[in-house]
Amino acid sequence: MIGFIIITHGDFGRQLVKAVQVILGEQKEVWALSLHENDGLDTLSEKVGKILKEGNEQSEGKIIFVDMFGGTPANASLKFVNDEKVEIISGVNLPMLITGINYRQALPLKELTRLIRQKGEQSILDVKQKFLDKVSKAKNK
């Protein structure tokens, strides 16, 4: 099973994990790390390193999800950029996590990462315009 580490500013990641569990139930191999005001880059990197070491030899790999590229959570994950069993994706959102959990036992690490990125990109929509387009099409039938 591929593990997930979600690292975000504040408790955003913890709340995402809670939302996933409301939808899909309790999940194993999912960690949420929060960065708060007085937390530092080194401390955060150490926490990630400890998680990565847990069962690393048996693990199929881990995907680190961060909230935004260039922030401290992303920078803390860069220490592991050369680890072949680690992928790092920014812009974490609920559809990405749900997709990842649904396919993490069926797909290899690189393929799962690609699928998760696609889902993240596809999930960003102008909801108002999409709705208005649908209504317009229905009226024209």
Long-range (24+ apart) CB contacts under 8 A made by 40-48 are 41/72, 41/75, 41/76, 44/7, 44/72, 44/73, 44/76, 45/76, 45/77, 45/79, 48/5, 48/7, 48/76, 48/77, 48/79, 48/80
Q: Are 66 and 44 in contact (CB under 8 A)?
A: no
Question: Catalytic residue numbers?
Answer: 9
Closest CA to 74 of 95, 88, 92, 85: 88
